[in-house]
Chains A and B, each alone.
Chain A
Amino acid sequence: MRKIRILNLYGEALDLNGDGKNVTAFEKRIAEMGYEYETASLGVDEEIDFSGYDVVFMTHGKPHNVSALSEHFAKYKENIMENIENGKVFVVTGSSNMLLGKSFSMLDGKTYEGIGLFDCTAEEFDSLYVSDAVLVPEFAPEEKMFGTYYRCESVKYDTPNKNPLFTVVKADAGKGSVGEKEGVRHKNVFATWCLGPVLVRNPLMMKEVLHCVLGEDYRETDFSLEEKAVKMIIEELI
């Protein structure tokens, strides 16, 4: 039986607002499809080889924690880049995105290096941008998803983002807002500033990630309850 190896990177340090439940939901779907899985939650005291996993989750965390992890993460820059270019599936939500950009600066005045996969920088500010959002994913342009943004960072792309993950149909304006296009889809990297249980609540994205990980081994499972819940929200928002 096929066994899926999941890496919940820094899962102990990055687990704010229910993001960790994306991993739980993913595990459950794998099990429902009849496959085994094994999940590793690795932290700063471990050595990491990304090639040993089928999918890597990097979830939203406290700004302080993200900055404290940056040095450890940067050690694996080459290994990460190589795995991404070879098609490794990465699901990156919320503030973890800062680790994939060029650099980010925090309110304490310090600047931290990212691995530079994305051509952007982030800057923490002293308030919070909060918005519900309706999103059209690039992988299903006829469909809609629900997203949530809680952000105390503004993000600047040095060159235009050529591979956005979402078109933002509806979201609030304000400092830290995400603009008309959001996120990055690069090969099998799904990166979004949406946070929380993005995969749990959006069957569209969960299915897409599962397809990428499982390929032809993907099997249908029942998403009717999740679809009903998200449809209700989107109808209320539009």
Chain B
Amino acid sequence: MRLFIAICVCRVLYFIGRLIGKGTSKPGDIARIVCPAVLKRLKFDGKVICITGTNGKTTTSNLVTHMLRENGYTVINNSFGSNMLGGITTSLLTNCTFGGRVKADFSVLEIDERWLRFFVKEVTPDYVLLTNLLRDQIVRNCCPEIVLEKIKLGVTPGTTYILNANDPVSQQVSWGIDNPIVWFALGENDRSTKECRSGTNDAKVCPKCMHELSYDYYHYNHVGSFHCENCGFETPKADFLGHDIDFAGGKFFINGEETQITFDATYFMFNTVAAAAVCCSASGMELKKALASAETFDIGVTKRYEEITVLGRRCQLILTKQNPASIDQSVDFVTDKESPRTLIIISNNMFHTERKDVLFMYDVAYENLKDVEHIVIVGKRRYDMAVRLKLGGIDMERVQVCDEAEGLRSCLEKTEGNIYVMTSSVFSNEDKVLEELKKL
């Protein structure tokens, strides 16, 4: 009876919430009060797939959902809800019968990497995909190994783990467990580097013996092909390998099957290989069919790289998270563009907490901006960003610090070329900067 009431309460609150534009966590949170550990009482007809990790979990979840649906499977997911317990509960309770039966072939659930261990106390997933573990939100996570420990606390017997073979941190999930492991990886390509170009590398030393870890190549940060000459720790052989990447031709291969590059970014190719590993392992679908469906997926690029016109010039907004890997990718996005370029960096305090430490900017390779012709810095931590750029060897003659959003026009009039706006936050008119830009 409690389960039935919890489902009803959740649905009513979810419906009201949608009408008034409220979030999707609360209905699930309240349902959990009505019926504690409510997820434990659900009956899943199909398989449960959890997708977690630092970066790429939303895109990969959406991609897996798309690929499964395109191949005729019924799928529920939490794409409309938060990725913590409340949001996931809302997603499941609004997609089950009143008797608590989840009829879909697959439940594809994106889960915050710190919350997986709580979810698995109620539901044993059939598959867990860990996209990667990178430095992120140090206020919550401290370092990737702390998150790793939390994930290891949630290892459940019988669950198949799909792990990134190129990531020496997430590889450690496989240590000391008997669960089946499926490895995915991306091979060396034109964008791989012999030296780490990113601001951080969380595996400079071997996690087993602390001796220097050697890399054959890097994709980004500590993700690449590695081995330890002291103890033999190394990149495991991949079950699903992306290879022969032809950026110019817009195609690459996974285990010998050709597929198109639908979004030209290394991290998205990782997402595609990971999604293929999930779909083929969980449903038994042919790789060829999985990849054909991946080619029709819309990543939603316009949302992440919105374009506006500023002073008659093309202006592209680049959404980043406050994590070094995400910002490094945005730095590369700008440096790959044609000269001359003007980059606006909105530098503010930490999200939510308004803390002023902004340490993450020291984990980003802003040094790579050295050839960008013009840089304008705005935001509360603008002078801290200027200090960071100066330390990175950026020619400070190219850098303008703009004290007021209203002063942007005069700063931009001294610059030329396309404009790129890098903001470490969602586009919520930070410091009126975006509002001001749109007026110009």
Measured CB to CB, the nearest residue on chain A to B204 is: A12
* A40 interfacial contact with B, CB 8 Å: no
Nearest-neighbour CB distance to chain A for B401, whole angstroms, equals 9
Measured CB to CB, the nearest residue on chain B to A196 is: B359
* B285 interfacial contact with A, CB 8 Å: no
Task: Knowing A12-B212, A28-B391, A197-B359, say if A45 contacts B230 (CB, 8 Å).
Answer: yes
Find chain B residues with CB under 8 A from A197 CB: 359, 362, 391
Find chain A residues with CB under 8 A from B357 CB: 132, 148, 196
Contact A128–B362 (Cβ < 8 Å) = no
Contact B142–A45 (Cβ < 8 Å) = no
Find chain B residues with CB under 8 A from A225 CB: 383, 386-387, 390, 396
* A5 interfacial contact with B, CB 8 Å: no
* B414 interfacial contact with A, CB 8 Å: no
Q: How far apart are the CA atoms of A236 and B139 in the complex, in Å?
A: 20
Q: Which of A17, A72, A229, A236 contacts B359 (CB 8 A)?
A: A17
Q: How far apart are the CA atoms of A28 and B394 in the complex, in Å?
A: 13
Contact residues on B (Cβ < 8 Å of other chain), bracket? 35 or more
Find chain B residues with CB under 8 A from A201 CB: 384, 387
Contact A236–B387 (Cβ < 8 Å) = no
Find chain A residues with CB under 8 A from B383 CB: 225, 228-229, 232
Contact B387–A226 (Cβ < 8 Å) = yes
Within 8 A of A (CB), among B353-397: 353, 355-357, 359-363, 380, 383-384, 386-388, 390-391, 396
Nearest-neighbour CB distance to chain A for B66, whole angstroms, equals 37
* B299 interfacial contact with A, CB 8 Å: no
Mask of B187-221 contacts with A, CB within 8 angstroms, 1/0: 00000000000001000110101111000000000
Q: Which of A43, A130, A200 contacts B391 (CB 8 A)?
A: A200
Contact A229–B145 (Cβ < 8 Å) = no
Stretch at the interface among A18-26, A97-105, A115-123, A159-167: A18-26
Contact A18–B211 (Cβ < 8 Å) = no
Contact B212–A45 (Cβ < 8 Å) = yes
Measured CB to CB, the nearest residue on chain B to A25 is: B391
Q: How far apart are the CA atoms of A226 and B140 in the complex, in Å?
A: 28
Find chain A residues with CB under 8 A from B204 CB: 12-13, 15
Find chain B residues with CB under 8 A from A18 CB: 359-363
Mask of A213-238 contacts with B, CB within 8 angstroms, 1/0: 00000000000011011001100110
Nearest-neighbour CB distance to chain B for A85, whole angstroms, equals 28
Contact A196–B210 (Cβ < 8 Å) = no
Q: How far apart are the CA atoms of A24 and B230 in the complex, in Å?
A: 29
Mask of B20-41 contacts with A, CB within 8 angstroms, 1/0: 0000000000000000000000
Contact A68–B139 (Cβ < 8 Å) = no
Find chain B residues with CB under 8 A from A150 CB: 138-139, 142, 359
Binding site for B on A (CB under 8 A): 12-13, 15-18, 21, 24-25, 28, 43-45, 62-65, 68-69, 72, 128, 130, 132, 146, 148, 150, 152, 195-197, 200-201, 225-226, 228-229, 232-233, 236-237
The 8 A-B residue pairs whose C-beta atoms are closest, nearest first, are A18-B362, A229-B383, A148-B357, A12-B204, A196-B359, A17-B359, A13-B205, A62-B143
Extra contacts, 7 of them, besides A15-B200, A132-B357, A146-B356 (Cβ < 8 A), are: A13-B204, A16-B143, A17-B362, A44-B209, A150-B138, A200-B391, A225-B387
Binding site for A on B (CB under 8 A): 135, 138-140, 142-143, 145-146, 200, 204-205, 207, 209-212, 230, 353, 355-357, 359-363, 380, 383-384, 386-388, 390-391, 396
CB-defined A-B contacts under 8 Å, sample of 23 = A12-B212, A18-B360, A43-B210, A43-B211, A44-B210, A45-B211, A45-B230, A62-B142, A62-B145, A62-B146, A63-B145, A130-B353, A132-B356, A132-B357, A148-B357, A150-B138, A150-B359, A197-B359, A225-B383, A233-B356, A233-B384, A236-B356, A237-B356
